Amino acid sequence: MNVSPVTGSTAANTTAATAVPTGNQIVSQWQSTNQVFEEILEETLEMLVSEESSTLPTAGINPSSTASSQGLTGLSGVDPSTINTSDSLTPLLLSLLPNFTGTTPQTATSANSTAADAGVTSAPTSTSATAPSGSLASIINTTAEKYNLPPSLLSAVIQQESGFNPNAVSSAGAQGLMQLMPSTAQSLGVSNAFDPAQNVDAGASYLRQLLNQFGGSVPLALAAYNAGPGAVSKYQGVPPYAETQNYVQSILNHAGLANASSSL
């Protein structure tokens, strides 16, 4: 039997076929594969954002990115810590993003959310003054007599609502000494809610209406002033809102009516 000798070219091909890739070749192949993978991930993120953009927090877009107005155009445009994993992006995809810690920020819940949902208007937090000025005291006394209200009650409501600040404006838009909402002020004929005389007269008139509506009960009238008459009617008493309950008790204490019959 004749055996043909292995030629040089055949041996070279055999050696090339069995050669082990060098370290540089492995790194190059890995970088190429990783780049393709990042492109796929980027396209997936863009697709999810475009389909469910309404559920993606705007904070998830880096405002410094030149393409931020056009959605996610690169992984560097995403701040993973601001994305809610319960919405559209899966934890698996997020785990592949740089700097993802596995946690997301919690949405802050307003301390007044329950009261706000019930229509409660929060008064300004600043109550620097503890007593009305001379001119305001005169307005309070005159107005209280006009609507058959104890001056101490009217003064306590003003203190609680605005801290005797005629220019007070709440976050909900209530204005002036007795924190009248614009619609309420308009219905009561107020042309300038920041005018002390107009504001106190309208607020006292409204308070008298509420007293008449709830059988002269001061606690119920105060609760209605704060949370709305609908809430008082619904619960047949002072609503179970912490803000409203504290509001009523504080005014009764300041007015010296906490231990009285509290009926006018």
Catalytic residue set = 161
Query: Cα separations (Å) of 252 from 122, 128, 245, 259?
Result: 18, 19, 11, 9
Nearest to 246 by CA among 125, 133, 148: 125
**Residue 110 phi, psi dihedral angles, 5° rounding:** -65, 140
Name the DSSP class of 61: B
The answer to whether the CB of 202 falls within 8 A of the CB of 185 is yes
Count of other CB atoms within 10 angstroms of residue 233: 14
Residues 6+ apart with CB under 8 A from 38: 75
Partnered with residue 54 across adjacent β-strands are: none
**Residue 180 to residue 226: CA distance in whole angstroms:** 11
